[in-house]
Amino acid sequence: MLILLGNISILIKKKSGGKINFKGIVTRLAASTLLGTAIIIDAKNSVNFSLPLYAFFTYFFPGILTYIFSRANFSDVREHLTKFYKGIFLMSLMGTLGYYFLIKSFQTLEKSIAAPLNNLSPVIMVVLGIVFLKETDRIWVKIFAVIIVFLGAVLLNLS
């Protein structure tokens, strides 16, 4: 609960004027529900296959579906790939490793611990933004959110 509260407090801004976008809330709830469902499915299925094979299936089949239904001009894609190949390769590597270690954590940790700890990344990005990019606007809100999320993660590991 504290991890969720910390992540939400980062998103809340004073200048929103108290207006709440109902469509945005429904979309975020739907996305969170789908993400939670996907994590549960991944946790259940990852024990039935070897980890590299499961990760391959998870990335390969959506890639094929994307290719089939894509309306992209492949000459533009090729140009983009040749121009930004280092960044694309690095992002692909990091995404694959992140997913691999998430599935690996399901095999070594309890799922109720592994899934919330995986969702600490927004707070970690906020801290890195403060340190490296010198983002000092609303710094006390950001620091408060980091402390709340850290406490939530510590309490989660104690239970």
Which residue type does 97 have? L
Residue 123: how many other CB atoms lie within 10 Å: 23
Q: Which residue has the higher pLDDT, 40 or 90?
A: 90
Q: What is the mean pLDDT of residues 121-143?
A: 79
DSSP state of 133: S
Arithmetic mean of pLDDT over the chain = 77
Q: What is the mean pLDDT of residues 124-145?
A: 80
- Tell me the pLDDT band of 90, cut-offs 50, 70 and 90: very high
To the question of pTM greater than 0.85 for the whole model, the response is no
Q: Which has the closest alpha carbon to 4: 114, 140, 149, 139? A: 149
Confidence (pLDDT) at 11: 61
Q: Which residues of 100-118 are buried (b: 16+ CB within 10 A; e: fewer)?
A: eebbebbeeeeeeebbbbe
Residue 147: how many other CB atoms lie within 10 Å: 13
CB-CB contact of 157 with 7 (8 Å): no
